[in-house]
Amino acid sequence: MNQKDYSGVLVFAEQRSGEIQNVSLELLGKGRKIADELGASLMAVLPGKDMKKHSRLLIEYGADQVVLIEDDSLSIYMTEPYTQAVVQTIETYKPEVVLFGATSIGRDLAPRVSARIRTGLTADCTSLDVSEDKMLLMTRPAFGGNIMATIVCPDHRPQMSTVRPGVMTKMERDASRVGEVIESDWKPERNTQWVEVLSFEQETDEKQDIQEATVLISGGRGVGSAENFGVLYDLADELGGMVSASRAAVDSGWMDHERQVGQTGKTVRPNLYFACGISGAIQHVAGMEEADFIVAVNKDKNAKIFEVADLGIVGDVHKIIPLLTEEIKKINESKKVK
Amino acid sequence: MKIVVCIKQVPDTNEVRLDPKTGTLIRDGVPSIINPDDKAGLEAALRLKDAYGAHVTVVTMGPPQAKIALQEAYAMGADRVILLTDRVFAGADTLATSTTIAAAIKKLDYDLVITGRQAIDGDTAQVGPQIAEHLGLPQISYVSDFENHGDYAVVKRVFEDGFQKIKVGYPCLITTLSEMNEARYMNIRGILDANRVLEIETWQFSDIDADIEEMGLKGSPTKVKKSFTKGAKQAGKVLEGTPKELAVAIVDKLHEKFII
C-alpha cells in the first residue's frame, strides 16, 4: 500500500427516515478543519433512497464533494449493503481519513468496513487532531472515562474513527458554498450476509433506561412534589434527555424506582447530569459522580452536592429551571436544520 | 444447534477508583469478571441449550489467568471452553483480536456465534462485527431479544430511537446487550467439576490457521501514542445571583462544553 495514493477526508453521512443526522454535520465541521490542515478536500458519502434533495445540505455544511448512493436496499440501515456501498466509495476515492458518527449505526458499520479493507479503527473518539507529520491523532476515553488514550494508525490507510455525537462543532450553514454532487452507479451484490428487516418501531421514553441517557435531569426532595417534576421534564425534552430522581424523591412516591440514581438505584454516566434540589448524600453521589459534566441547583449554598458539581447554582429550582428551558428552546429553534 | 460464545475477562470497572492525589487508576484488589454484555450472550446461549439442546462452546482470548472466566462459564453450563493464549496474541487492537478469534472459530462447528456488544474496559464494540466480517457471516449488533425459528432467527436490534425486528438465517453472529437477560448463577456441580475435573483447552498460535503478521501488536494497525488521566475531580464554581443571571450562566457553560 502506498500512502501517497490516499488523500482527503471522507465523512459517512448518516440518514434515518430520510433525515440527515446532526452528528454527520458535526463531522463535516471537524472534517473541514482536518482537510484544510492536510491541504486536501472533504467528501461526504450519502447512502439512502430519494436523498438527492439533501445532498446540497452537506455542501452547505462544509463538503466539497458528495457521493450520493441511491438504492432500495439503502433506504433503512442494513449492515451489508451499507458496507458494500461505503467500501466501494473508499476504494474508488482513496481518502486518507474516514469518519463515522459513534451511533448505533456508525458503530455497527465502521468495524465491518475496517475489517473488509483491513485498516485500523478507533472507537468513540472525543477529540481529533492532526500531528506535525500529518497523522490523525484520535483521542478517546477508556475504563468508563477514567483514562484517555490518543491512538494513531501509522502504516494503514485510511485512518478511520467513530466520533461521539455532540462533541464536534458544526459550521455555520453557508448557502453560497460551492460543491459537486457525484451520483454513484453502485449496485448491491446480494450475498449470504443479507438479512431481512421485518419492522421498525419507534420507542417511547417510558421504556428507556436512564443508564442509556446522555442527558439526565434528576430531582430530589427539594423539587417538592410529583407535579413539580413537570419543569424537569420540559428541560429534559429540550436537551434530549430523561428525568431521574434521588432516593428521597422515589421514597416520596414522586418517581418510579426504575429511575432512581444512587447506591440502591442505578449508577449513571451521562454526558450531562442536572441535580435539582438534591442535597448530595454520599449514596446518591456514588451513583452519578462519573457523569462527564454535573450541574447542581440547590437553595442551600452549603449543600454537599456542590462538592461534586462542575457548576453549582445557588437558587430555587422552580424559578431557574423554567428560565433555563426557555433559553435552550431559543437556541434549539435557531439551530434547526430546514 | 451449535453455538460459539466469545467472552472477555475484564476488571470490574465499577470497582476501579481514582487516586485523588495522582489521578491514576487504583487497580490493586479490583476483581476480574466476565464482561457483562458477554455474560448476557452466554446466558442467551444457555437458554437456547435449555430449550433446544444446543451445544455451547465458550472461547476467550487473554492471559493464562483468563481461565477463571472460563471456569465460571463452564460452571454456568457451557459444554466446552477454550482459552486462546500465546505471547504473539498480546498487545492486539480490535482488528488483530478479531482476526485471531475468527481463526479459532473457523476450527469449530457453529450455527450461531455470540459476542457481547462491547467490553467495559475498552468500550469499542468493534470486535464482534469484525469477527463476523472475517467469517463472512451476517451480523446483528445491539441485540436485546433472540427467537429461534429452526432454520432462521428473529432478533430485536436496538437503536437510539427505537428497534428493528430482523430475520436472519443461520449461520450468523449477534452481539448482545447486558440488559437482554438476567444471567444465571453457577450451579454447584458445575463449580465442583470446574475445579476438579475440568481441563481448560488451551490453544496457541500453532493451533489455529492464521498469518503471524496479523496477530498481536505487530498485526495491529492502531497504536496507542499516549494515555493520560483526566485528573482528580475538583469542585467546580458555585454561583449566586438572580434566576435569570443564573439560567444564562448555565447556558454559557453548556455552550463552552459543546453540550448544546
Angle at A288 between CA A284 and CA A292, to 5 degrees: 155
Q: Judge whether B32 lies within some domain.
A: yes
Q: Per-residue pLDDT averaged across A255-268, rounded? A: 83
A39 and A167 share a domain?
A: yes
The pLDDT value given to residue B234: 61
A174 and A211 share a domain?
A: no
pLDDT at B27 over 70: no
For residue B10, give the chain A residue with the closest CA: A143
Grid-cell match 435449555, residue found: B50
Q: Which residues pair with B214 in a beta bridge?
A: none
The pLDDT value given to residue B51: 97
Q: Judge whether B101 lies within some domain.
A: yes
Residue B259's pLDDT band (cuts 50, 70, 90): confident
* C-alpha B71: how far from chain center: 17
pLDDT at A326 over 50: yes
Q: Judge whether B243 lies within some domain.
A: no
Residue B20's pLDDT band (cuts 50, 70, 90): low
Q: Judge whether A78 lies within some domain.
A: yes
A99 and A166 share a domain?
A: yes
HSE of A316, CA atoms in CB hemisphere, 13 A: 9
pLDDT at B89 over 80: yes
Question: Does A319 contact B240 at a Cβ distance shorter than 8 Å?
Answer: no
Q: Per-residue pLDDT averaged across B181-201, rounded? A: 89
The pLDDT value given to residue B38: 97
Q: Which residues pair with A159 in a beta bridge?
A: A97
Grid-cell match 458539581, residue found: A309
A174 and A213 share a domain?
A: no
B120 closest CB neighbour out of A144, A198, A311: A144
A38 and A111 share a domain?
A: yes
pLDDT tens-digit series, residues A280-322: 988 788 789 888 899 999 999 999 999 899 999 999 999 999 9
The pLDDT value given to residue B199: 84
B138 closest CB neighbour out of A148, A193, A198: A193
Q: Per-residue pLDDT averaged across B198-215, rounded? A: 95
The pLDDT value given to residue A106: 98
Q: Judge whether B231 lies within some domain.
A: no
The pLDDT value given to residue A237: 92
Give me the CATH number covering residue A142: 3.40.50.620
What letter would DSSP give residue B187? Answer: P
pLDDT at B232 over 60: no
The pLDDT value given to residue B120: 85
- Partners of residue B172 in chain A, C-beta under 8 Å: 195
Q: Which residues pair with A183 in a beta bridge?
A: A68
Q: Judge whether B87 lies within some domain.
A: yes
Residues 8-67 of B with CB under 8 A from A: 13-14, 16, 18, 25
A25 and A158 share a domain?
A: yes
List Cα–Cα distances, A29 to A134, A171, A173, in angstroms. Answer: 19, 5, 10
Among B222, B228, B230, B245, the residue to mutate for chain A (most A Cβ within 10 A)? B222
Range name among A87-101, B94-108, B149-163 with the lowest pLDDT average: B149-163
A74 and A140 share a domain?
A: yes
Decide if A312 touches B, using CB distance below 8 A.
yes
Question: Does B230 contact A145 at a Cβ distance shorter than 8 Å?
Answer: yes
Residue B231's pLDDT band (cuts 50, 70, 90): low
Question: Does A197 contact B251 at a Cβ distance shorter than 8 Å?
Answer: no
A154 and A74 share a domain?
A: yes
Question: Does A142 contact B154 at a Cβ distance shorter than 8 Å?
Answer: no
Percent of chain A with pLDDT over 90: 75
Which domain covers residue A97, as residue numbers? 3-183
Angle at A42 between CA A37 and CA A43, to 5 degrees: 160
Q: Angle at which helices A79-93 and A106-117 pack, to 10 degrees?
A: 50
Q: Judge whether A199 lies within some domain.
A: no
Q: Judge whether A20 lies within some domain.
A: yes
Question: Does B226 contact A150 at a Cβ distance shorter than 8 Å?
Answer: yes
Q: Which helix (H) or strand (E) covers residue B7, if one does? A: strand B2-7
Please give the single-letter amino acid code of residue A213: A
C-alpha cell at A334: 435557531
Round the average pLDDT of chain A to a whole number and report it.
92
Give me the CATH number covering residue A273: 3.40.50.1220
Q: What is the distance in angstroms between the Cα of B163 and the nearest Cα belonging to chain A?
A: 5
Question: Does B258 contact A197 at a Cβ distance shorter than 8 Å?
Answer: no
Residue A333's pLDDT band (cuts 50, 70, 90): confident
Q: Judge whether A196 lies within some domain.
A: no
Question: Does A147 contact B228 at a Cβ distance shorter than 8 Å?
Answer: yes
- Partners of residue A170 in chain B, C-beta under 8 Å: none
Residues 34-73 of A with CB under 8 A from B: none
The pLDDT value given to residue B31: 86
Total count of domains within chain A: 2
Q: Judge whether B253 lies within some domain.
A: no
Asked if the ipTM is above 0.85, the reply is: yes
Q: Judge whether B47 lies within some domain.
A: yes
Q: Per-residue pLDDT averaged across B96-125, rounded? A: 96
Question: Does B236 contact A148 at a Cβ distance shorter than 8 Å?
Answer: no
Q: Per-residue pLDDT averaged across B51-56, rounded? A: 96
A26 and A170 share a domain?
A: yes
A14 and A156 share a domain?
A: yes
Q: Which residues pair with A310 in a beta bridge?
A: none
A261 and A170 share a domain?
A: no
Decide if A204 touches B, using CB distance below 8 A.
no
Is residue B229 within 8 A of residue A146, CB to CB? The reply is: yes
Residue A40's pLDDT band (cuts 50, 70, 90): very high
Residue B230's pLDDT band (cuts 50, 70, 90): low
- Out of A183, A218, A237, a domain closes at A183
The pLDDT value given to residue A338: 45
Total count of domains within chain B: 1
The pLDDT value given to residue A337: 55
Round the average pLDDT of chain B to a whole number and report it.
91
Nearest Cα residue to B63 out of B90, B36, B81? B90
- The phi and psi torsions of A312 (rounded to 5 degrees) equal -105, 135
pLDDT at B16 over 70: no
Give me the CATH number covering residue B83: 3.40.50.620
Q: Judge whether A88 lies within some domain.
A: yes
C-alpha cell at A11: 465523512
pLDDT tens-digit series, residues A160-174: 999 988 778 889 999
pLDDT tens-digit series, residues A188-242: 999 999 999 999 988 755 556 788 788 999 999 999 999 999 999 999 999 989 9
Q: Judge whether A174 lies within some domain.
A: yes
d(CA B100, CA B79): 22
Q: Per-residue pLDDT averaged across B200-213, rounded? A: 97
List Cα–Cα distances, B240 to A3, A62, A298, A311, in angstroms. Answer: 56, 41, 10, 11
Grid-cell match 429540550, residue found: A238
pLDDT at B97 over 80: yes
